[in-house]
Structure 1
Amino acid sequence: MIKNKKDFVVWGVTFISLALLQLVLCFARDFDYYPVMMTSLMFMFGLNGIVNSMFDESDKEREEQRKVDSAIEFKANNIAITVTKICVVLFFGGIYLLRGTTWITEALMGYGMVAMVVFDVMIFSEFFAKIYYIRKRNK
């Protein structure tokens, strides 16, 4: 059953017709690889158009779910960015405190440890924020 007739005609039928025409012209003239590649590309576009026209993408439930998922993603990313900003400030504070050390190896190890902690906090804050908002949505 075709649910989107415009995509079916524009993408499906048109590109498959062009692919068949290109294939006929390819065998009528000298055989070359470029028309064969274009034929396969047009055939794939046409097949994709036909398959996409069979499914209704404007389903309200899917659209609502996408909106909810994007809102959760936005909130989680916002929290992760805020926590990351705080960790970056702490990182630069750690650099300021370690600038007076006499051994450069100790300072570099300190910078590396602080950078690893900032990276881990950034990843886990986004992860836990997503879990929190998904659980909040399901209640």
Structure 2
Amino acid sequence: MSPARIASLWGVGGLRPAPGTWGSAAVLPLALLPGWVAMAACAAFTLAGFWALNRLPEAERDPDWVVVDEAAGMSFALAFAMSLWGAALAFALFRLFDIAKPGPVGWADRQPGPFGVMADDLAAGGLAALGVLAFHAAGLG
């Protein structure tokens, strides 16, 4: 398997407009499975992403066609979804945090190379997961 195919999530990164949104949406079916499956997918996407990005010279920056990082971060958020409403909130929060880059997401985004490419989305997924957990703790979903 080529590093570019993995980094683009088997071509999803070529979809337009908004390839990052398509990369996030590609893993939404994980919401129908137990949370541990989404967490295992997060680990698999993270490992595969680091492997692929370390073999691509263009990964020193975050090209828009690289969406394995979105798949990893979104999978992290979905691990805590527990309902379809939770999955919808996870998606909305993940995209918001990935685009707006608040706090730790912005810090991670400024890190060089494959670490920065992957870490900002994992941080966005973590923040989205916290939002989803708060949503469920409040009895809303």
TM-score, normalised to structure 2's length?
0.31
> Who wins on radius of gyration, i.e. which is larger?
1
More helix by share: 1
TM-score, normalised to structure 1's length?
0.31
